[in-house]
């Protein structure tokens, strides 16, 4: 029997998204990492390999932990297909992740299920489409004219409050949809401990505060989990896979 999967199924979906997701993400990786080589060998930028390495290490020292934390954090919500999309598109935490959470909550599915994965995938497609259209309109067509006519107080308010308001609302919606009281309390306690106690005592850790909270929350939640539930294999219809 042939191993090719052609009929509409979750296996076909995963096979297709894994194939093309890997290809497109690797192409994006090549394009992104080609810039230093362009500066070295093509552009007259007056930089050498030492300058590029220094810049990379400076960024890695601040954001390196997120290379591990972000995939672990986003995967249960976005699923494999959504992960390929999200890391190729970018703006995950402030655009794609909220879109996926809202879509899942709207149709009443849980993250970590097949339906949740489909919802996240389509939500990311919609978010990317709206983002590109708005960029073409507000940046490509209107451009600096629109920025010039917006009052400065409005711009200041947008910078200070809009993103926290969006993320705060999404956080509340995620808590309400998952209904994981214990995990929520652990996350809130870890965040308060890190921000109010650890960072004032060790200010050098401020750049990695989010990563510390995420790792601490995962660790505490894992070691205090109900083993009788998580160690038991489900016997459902196959839709409730992943985190339940």
- pLDDT, tens digit, for every residue of 150-198? 787 877 777 777 777 777 777 777 777 667 788 888 888 988 999 899 9
Query: pLDDT > 90: what percent of the chain?
Result: 13
Residue 3 lies in a domain: no
pLDDT at 237 over 60: no
CA distance 178 to 175: 5
CA distance 147 to 134: 14
Residue 129 lies in a domain: yes
Question: Where residue 2 falls among pLDDT bands split at 50, 70, 90?
Answer: very low
Residue 122 lies in a domain: yes
How many structural domains does the chain have? 1
Joined tokens for residue 199:
């960072």
pLDDT digits (tens, 9 = 90+) for 30-63: 998 888 888 888 887 788 888 888 888 878 876 7
Report whether 116 contacts 127 (CB < 8 A). Answer: no
- The three-point CA angle 142-94-18 to 5° equals 105
Which residue range forms the structural domain that includes residue 33?
12-47+74-149
Residue 120 lies in a domain: yes
Q: Which residues contact 79 (CB under 8 A, 6 or more apart)?
A: 112, 116, 117, 120, 121, 242
- At residue 230, the pLDDT reads 54
pLDDT digits (tens, 9 = 90+) for 58-113: 788 767 777 887 888 888 889 889 999 999 888 887 788 888 988 988 888 888 88
The CA–CA distances, whole Å, from 160 to 17, 92, 166, 167, 207 equal: 38, 19, 12, 13, 19
- At residue 232, the pLDDT reads 54
Residue 234 lies in a domain: no
- At residue 7, the pLDDT reads 56
Residue 203 lies in a domain: no
pLDDT at 28 over 50: yes
Residue 42 lies in a domain: yes
The length of the chain, given as a count of residues: 244
Joined tokens for residue 147:
């920025």
Residue 125 lies in a domain: yes
| DSSP alpha helix (H) spans, the chain | 10-41, 49-63, 66-89, 97-107, 114-135, 144-149, 152-157, 163-178, 181-193, 199-201, 209-223, 227-230
């Amino acid at each position: 029997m042939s191993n090719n999967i052609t009929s509409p199924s979750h296996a076909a979906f995963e096979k297709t998204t894994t194939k093309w997701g890997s290809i497109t993400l690797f192409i994006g990786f090549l394009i992104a990492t080609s810039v230093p080589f362009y500066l070295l060998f093509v552009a007259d930028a007056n930089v050498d390999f030492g300058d590029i390495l220094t810049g990379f290490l400076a960024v890695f020292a601040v954001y390196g932990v997120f290379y591990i934390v972000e995939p672990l954090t986003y995967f249960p919500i976005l699923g494999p297909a959504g992960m390929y999309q999200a890391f190729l598109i970018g703006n995950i935490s402030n655009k794609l992740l909220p879109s996926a959470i809202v879509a899942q909550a709207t149709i009443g599915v849980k993250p970590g299920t097949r339906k949740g994965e489909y919802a996240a995938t389509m939500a990311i497609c919609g978010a990317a489409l709206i983002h590109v259209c708005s960029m073409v309109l507000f940046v490509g067509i209107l451009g600096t004219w629109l920025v010039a006519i917006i009052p400065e107080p409005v711009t200041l308010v947008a910078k200070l409050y809009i993103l926290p308001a969006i993320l705060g609302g999404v956080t509340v919606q995620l808590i309400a949809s998952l209904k994981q009281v214990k995990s929520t309390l652990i996350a809130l306690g870890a965040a308060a401990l890190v921000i109010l106690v650890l960072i004032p005592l060790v200010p050098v850790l401020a750049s990695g505060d989010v990563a510390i909270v995420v790792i601490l929350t995962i660790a505490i939640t894992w070691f205090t989990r109900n083993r009788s539930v998580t160690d038991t294999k489900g016997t459902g219809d196959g839709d409730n896979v992943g985190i339940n």
